[in-house]
Structure 1
Amino acid sequence: MSLDYLEAVVVGAFQGVTELFPVSSLGHSVLIPALVGGRWARDLDVSAPESPYLAFIVGLHVATAAALLVFFRRDWIRIFGGFFSSVRYRRVETPAERLAWLIILATIPVGIAGLLLEHVFRTVLGKPLPAAIFLMVNGLVLYLGERLRRRAEPEPAAGVDPPTEVFAAVDARTVVMPAVAESADDRLARMPARRGVLIGAAQILALLPGISRSGATMVAGLTRGLSHEDAARFSFLLATPVILAAGAVKVPDLVGPLSTGIHGQILAGSVASFVSAYVAVRFLTRYFHTRTLTPFAIYCGLAGLGSALWLTLA
């Protein structure tokens, strides 16, 4: 197997965009080589054991997470500060402290599931036809999420619910600000822990190639009363440690024998992934101020159906 620079840059750019757009990066990483065919299908097989393509994908994931860290750098500085102050003073009181622990708790389910199931799902289901089918399912999930959100009774703002036991030490007098005057992070910080964990657990679905991480978490957030803007922001904040952790676990692949001879391609693809991911998150944080998941649902349905027909009939 070889990997040329054109393949590296194209796949890297698609990774950066599709990781953050609710359309499944893993699904596209499986489908694009299969649809192009020929050398691409041989070189870029994510389901093949001990494939150098896996080392390449690790580099792209790390670059995508780096783009998220850079874009949300002010948020993460506050979140890290909140975590360390919480540990130092043994409290969970400020919005930064609450948000830090909310992200930690919400990340635990997908972390455990990833360690147990990632290899099985990738090798068994990481093939073109299952990816096309799951991409159609992803479109249906996005569409139903929008429908359920519109039919649901309006819920209170994210922090109105009573805090759970994890945040029992919070003084109620510190959370009486009007929602209009709050920042997005403050609104998310007031979310009950059980709701945050439920939204974070939706990331487990993204282990299936074709199901989007950001799409699953956004739908979970929308159906639990978050706005599109807050659901997208929480999704991106949750994705950052998960993607970084996945990359850290696979670092031996990135620096080991699997990457031999393709270090330049990994670097080129990672740069493309970083740039495209930064542009994507910048666009989406503005897009979801006023718009919905419906266009992405339509795209996933049509792309999945078209890919399945091409793979079975061509």
Structure 2
Amino acid sequence: MDWLQLVVLSIIQGITEFLPVSSSAHLILPSQLLGWDDQGQAFDVAVHIGTLLAVVYAFRHEVRAVVSGWTRSVVRREPNAEARLGWLIILATIPACIVGLVFEHQIEQYTRSMLVIACTTILFGVVLWYADEKGRRILPMESMTWRQGLLIGLAQALALIPGTSRSGITMTAALLLGFNRQDAARFSFLLSIPLILAAGGLKTIDLIATGADAHWSDMLWGIVLSFVSAFLCIKLFLSALDKIGMLPFVIYRLLLGAFLLFVAL
């Protein structure tokens, strides 16, 4: 992998992992337009590590409180708000894990085309606009019920279809359920931690099992660049979200989807 490819793919992964614009839609563009070869599984693991470290660091205080509270609730039977949030995150993670394990091969075989990605990019962009416009945007994350957590988790499972956007669909679900923009985004970002950890763990196991070559310098730079870009993206997104809303991302998704359709057809 040359230096330009490494930098571009690392930054794309870091930014699009958390914006509601679909990382899969963006990661196919360089290869399609520039003829780049697949970056390989080792590099995928590296950039996922970078984005995982970024979201954990960005929400380090919340993560520490949730882990501590959840541990106390399990060990000492001491219920608290942080433990409840931890259980909600676990509950909302289960649907995507089940769907991913059961339908992994079908998803890989039938949904990886540019046409599918173009259609889902447009479709779920429109749904995001509707949720942001029609949602009440008043509920705090602390008021989330088990039913609402499960519904957001079920929505997250849809993100296994390329072009959907994991962050986009979970924010969409939270907005439709009445949560405010900041807490919809915060829950989406916290929800990404176990899923990225699980996906990265599975890819690492597969990497070891297949004995694929790992270019350690590329992996190190991938981690660093994806970490920096993801961290800055999270901070800028949250600071601007209440001012700009979701409309700029909706418009971008529609334009991107139209371009992908043009290329695919």
Asked whether the two chains share a fold, i.e. TM above 0.5, the reply is yes
Which of 103, 109, 116 does residue 117 from structure 1 map onto?
103
2:258 and 2:56 mapped to 1: Cα distance? 34
Q: Which residue of 1 aligns with 2:12?
A: 14
TM-aligned CA distance change 1:53 to 1:17, over 3 Å: same
1:34-183 paired onto structure 2 within 5 Å? 34-36=32-34, 38=35, 40=36, 43-44=37-38, 53-92=40-79, 94-149=80-135, 154=136, 158=139
Please, which moves more after superposition, 137-146 or 271-280? 137-146
**In the alignment, does 2:242 pair up with 1:293?**
no
Q: Structure 2 length as normaliser, TM-score?
A: 0.92
Superposition CA RMSD, Å: 1.9
2:227 and 2:206 mapped to 1: Cα distance? 20
Show CA shifts across 1:162-188 (max 9, x none). xxxxxxxxxxxxxxxxxxxxxxxxx42
Which residues of structure 2 form unaligned runs of 5+?
A: none
Q: Which residue of 2 aligns with 1:170?
A: none
TM-aligned CA distance change 1:266 to 1:129, over 3 Å: farther
**In the alignment, does 2:226 pair up with 1:228?**
no
Residues 9, 27 of structure 2: 8 Å contact kept: yes
Letter in 1 for 2:130: L
Structure 1 residue 278: Cα displacement: 0.4
Which of 293, 304, 308 does residue 257 from structure 2 map onto?
304
Which of 212, 217, 234 does residue 281 from structure 1 map onto?
234
**In the alignment, does 2:199 pair up with 1:246?**
yes
Structure 1 residue 257: Cα displacement: 4.7
Which residues of structure 1 form unaligned runs of 5+?
A: 45-51, 159-186
Residues 146, 219 of structure 1: 8 Å contact kept: yes
Q: Secondary structure at the match of 2:243?
A: coil
TM-aligned CA distance change 1:120 to 1:258, over 3 Å: farther
Letter in 2 for 1:280: C
Letter in 2 for 1:108: I
Q: Which residue of 2 aligns with 1:266?
A: 219
Q: Which residue of 2 aligns with 1:169?
A: none
Residues 31, 131 of structure 1: 8 Å contact kept: no
Letter in 2 for 1:145: A
Structure 1 residue 256: Cα displacement: 5.3
Letter in 2 for 1:242: L
Q: Structure 1 length as normaliser, TM-score?
A: 0.79
TM-aligned CA distance change 1:31 to 1:121, over 3 Å: farther
TM-aligned CA distance change 1:63 to 1:103, over 3 Å: same
Identity of aligned residues (%): 40
Show CA shifts across 1:119-167 (max 9, x none). 4313432232322222122322212222332xxxx48x64xxxxxxxxx
Residues 121, 163 of structure 2: 8 Å contact kept: yes
2:126 and 2:186 mapped to 1: Cα distance? 22
TM-aligned CA distance change 1:73 to 1:198, over 3 Å: same
Q: How many residues align?
A: 265
